[in-house]
C-alpha cells in the first residue's frame, strides 16, 4: 500500500486520487478554524508560497473531532481559510482523522509515523498533554492523531517520512522539506 492508493473528497464532494500528487513532496495536515493552533495556516501558506514552484503540495483536511473546533460547512471553511489566511493550497472535505470513523488515509499516516509524545520542553506541549489527560484521556491512547494541526511529511516516492505534532510550527519543518525537494 502507498499514499497514492487513497482517494479523498474535495470541498465539492468530488473524489480526488492522491495519485494526482505522485512525485511531489506532500505535507498533509488536519486543520480546524477555531483552534489555538489555527494561526499555523499562515505558516503553512508561507511554506506553500516558498516551495510550491519546487513541487511541494500542502493538503489540508479539516476535522471537527477535537472539541468541536471545526463546526463549519465546506463553504464556511473555504471562506475562512481564504479571507483570514489567504490559503491557496488544497483544502479538502471535512473528515475524521481518528477512531472508528477515521478516513483510511489518516489510519495509514498514523501507522507509518505513530504518535511518540509531545515535546514536554515546549510550554504548549506540556499544556496540551495535560488538557488531553484531564479532558480527553482516550485521545492519548494509540498511534493516531491527538489534536488539530498534526502534520505528516511525505516524500516524492509516497513514503511517510516524518510526523510533527501541533506544537511544531510550519517554519520549523523547512529543513526537512528542502531535503525532499
Tell me the domain boundaries of the chain: 3-180
- Superfamily of segment(s) 3-180: Glutaredoxin (3.40.30.10)
Task: Evaluate if residue 121 carries a pLDDT over 90.
Answer: no
Weakest mean pLDDT among 4-18, 39-53, 109-123, 153-167 = 109-123
pLDDT in the model for residue 81: 92
pLDDT, tens digit (0-9, with 9 covering 90-100), for 9-21: 999 999 999 999 9
Mean pLDDT (whole number) for 69-81: 92
Task: Evaluate if residue 29 carries a pLDDT over 90.
Answer: yes
- pLDDT interval class at 140 (50, 70, 90): confident
Q: d(Cα 11, Cα 5) in Å, to the nearest integer?
A: 20
18 DSSP assignment: G
Active site residue 35: yes
Task: Evaluate if residue 24 carries a pLDDT over 90.
Answer: yes
Q: Which letter, b or e, does each residue of 7-22 get, where b requires 16 or more Cβ atoms within 10 Å of its Cβ?
A: ebbebeeeebebeebe
- pLDDT interval class at 1 (50, 70, 90): confident
Q: d(Cα 161, Cα 51) in Å, to the nearest integer?
A: 18
Q: d(Cα 144, Cα 100) in Å, to the nearest integer?
A: 11
One of 35, 97, 160, 168 is an active-site residue; which one?
35
Going from the C-alpha of 111 to that of each of 3, 23, 88, 145, the distances in angstroms are 12, 22, 29, 10
Mean pLDDT (whole number) for 45-74: 95
pTM above 0.85, yes or no: yes
Which residues lie below 8 Å from residue 36, measured CB to CB, with a gap of 6+?
124
Q: d(Cα 94, Cα 30) in Å, to the nearest integer?
A: 9
Output the nine-digit C-alpha cell for 98. 481518528
Task: Evaluate if residue 25 carries a pLDDT over 90.
Answer: yes
Output the nine-digit C-alpha cell for 136. 480527553
Which class for 109: exposed (0-12), middle (13-18), buried (19 or more C-beta within 10 A)? Answer: buried
Task: Evaluate if residue 73 carries a pLDDT over 90.
Answer: yes
Nearest in space to 165 (alpha carbons), one of 124, 131, 133: 124
Amino acid at each position: 500500500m502507498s499514499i497514492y492508493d487513497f482517494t479523498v473528497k474535495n470541498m465539492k464532494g468530488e473524489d480526488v486520487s492522491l495519485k494526482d500528487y505522485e512525485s511531489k513532496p506532500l505535507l498533509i495536515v488536519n486543520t480546524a478554524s477555531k483552534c489555538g493552533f489555527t494561526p499555523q495556516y499562515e505558516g503553512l501558506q508561507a511554506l506553500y508560497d516558498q516551495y510550491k514552484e519546487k513541487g511541494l503540495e500542502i493538503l489540508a483536511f479539516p476535522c471537527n473531532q477535537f472539541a468541536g473546533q471545526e463546526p463549519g460547512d465546506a463553504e464556511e471553511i473555504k471562506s475562512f481559510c481564504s479571507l483570514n489566511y489567504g490559503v491557496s493550497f488544497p483544502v479538502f472535505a471535512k473528515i475524521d482523522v481518528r477512531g472508528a470513523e477515521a478516513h483510511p488515509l489518516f489510519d495509514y499516516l498514523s501507522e507509518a509515523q505513530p504518535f511518540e509524545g509531545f515535546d514536554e520542553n515546549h510550554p504548549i506541549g506540556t499544556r496540551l498533554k495535560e488538557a488531553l489527560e484531564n479532558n480527553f484521556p482516550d485521545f492519548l491512547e494509540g498511534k493516531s492523531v491527538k489534536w488539530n494541526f498534526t502534520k505528516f511529511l511525505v516524500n516524492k516516492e509516497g513514503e511517510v517520512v516524518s510526523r510533527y505534532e501541533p506544537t511544531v510550527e510550519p517554519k520549523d519543518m523547512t529543513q526537512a522539506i528542502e531535503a525532499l525537494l
